[in-house]
Structure 1
Amino acid sequence: MRRAGLGEGSYGNYGYANSGYSACEEENDRLTESLRHKVTAIKSDSQFDSTTGFLGRTMEKLKILSRGSQSKLMCYMMLFSLFVFFVIYWIIKLR
């Protein structure tokens, strides 16, 4: 690709040699095309949708489990606190 007014090996506006700039553009175009093919494959893949649904159901189940676990943990902490309180009260009462 040759630009008007610029000779071989001359530098453009950005200080890059035309041949290097052209090689970078060609590499970017190739990578862009590769990315476009990958995005198209993901969009058309039905397994992607089923995985999303499976992940969503799993997250909902984890939320339910974590709510139950927190209430059990809170109950155990309250019972332990009461036990410690009564032990300290008993020790003070014996003195």
Structure 2
Amino acid sequence: MRRAGLGEGVPSGSYGYAGSGYSTCEKENERLSESLRSNVSAIKSLSIETGHQVKHQNKLLAEMDSQFDSTTGFLGKTVGKLKILSRGSQTKLLCYMMLFSLFVFYVIYWIMKLR
């Protein structure tokens, strides 16, 4: 003798679970689970976007590292040539520097005179 009805499997009595309380809890649970789903999907999309940004930044860092390596090599060669130049005759180097300085001062004087 089983009764089939709306509240089957739900205790009936003076607490009123069959009518309002149980369905209110179900609705609240559904609303909260939907909110949780939307939060999880938002976090997932943010983490995917963060992953793309990290890959892009790593690519840029690798390019910068390569450029710094080539610049370091170029500067090392330049410093080596300057060392070779400085080992030579100091008077010759001093003469070249003086001539260059006089030339720069002459150009500045000439520009000032034209104004």
Could you say which structure has the greater relative contact order, defined with CA pairs below 8 angstroms and 6 or more residues apart?
Answer: 1
Structure 1 window deviating more from structure 2 (43-52 vs 71-80): it is 43-52
2:84 equivalent to 1:89:
yes
Q: Normalized against structure 1, the TM-score is what?
A: 0.52
Identical positions, percent? 11
1:15 corresponds in structure 2 to: none
Structure 2: runs of 5+ lacking an equivalent: 1-31, 91-115
Residues in 1 aligned to 2:66 and 2:37: alpha-carbon distance in whole angstroms: 41
Q: Which residue does the alignment assign to 2:71?
A: 76
2:41 to 31, 43, 46: 46
Structure 2: which amino acid aligns with 1:51? Answer: L
Unaligned runs of 5+ in 1: 1-36
Residue in 1 aligned with 2:99?
none
Aligned length: 57
Change (3 A) 1:92 1:42: farther
State how far apart, in whole Å, the 1-side matches of 2:52 and 2:37 are.
21
How many angstroms apart in 2 are the aligned matches of 1:53 and 1:69? 25
Deviation at 1:42, TM superposition (A): 7.5
Q: TM-score, normalised by structure 2?
A: 0.44
Structure 1 runs of 4+ off > 4 angstroms?
A: none
> Which has the greater radius of gyration?
2
Report the secondary structure of 1:90's partner residue: helix
SS of the counterpart of 1:86? Answer: helix
